[in-house]
Amino acid sequence: MTDMEAEVVEYSPNAMQDDFASGGFASYDATALRILSPGRLKDRTISVFHHEPMPENSFWRRTGARVRFSMEEADLVPSITLFTGGLWNIREIS
């Protein structure tokens, strides 16, 4: 696990959609985070998808909010769709 700090850059409603063979679908909102630390990852942007819309007052929606979390650095590859469950101990910092 790698400890990281990041800043919320953007919240995008309905950023991704899954279409199911049954004809149904699921839509996911996403938050773009710009990594601030560790230094080797600084300024890299990651998208974190949410299984349900985040509340209006959530830090996930607030541009400029700073957060701290841990995650597997191996998950920082374009082929992985990262959901909130892939971030551990996420919390807003001041």
What pLDDT, in 10s, does the model give residues 22-35?
988 888 999 999 99
* CATH number of the domain to which 35 belongs: 2.40.50
State which amino acid sits at residue 46: I
67 token code pair: 């957060």
So what's the pLDDT on residue 19? Answer: 82
So what's the pLDDT on residue 92? Answer: 95
Contact indicator for 64, 31 with CB cutoff of 8 Å: no
pTM of the full structure? 0.87
Instruction: Domain count for the chain, please give it.
Output: 1
What pLDDT, in 10s, does the model give residues 32-90?
999 999 999 999 999 999 998 999 999 999 999 999 999 988 888 876 788 998 999 99
Structural domain for 28, as ranges: 2-93
* Mean pLDDT value across residues 8-16: 93
- How far is residue 31 from each of residues 19, 24, 67, measured CA to CA in Å? 21, 24, 12
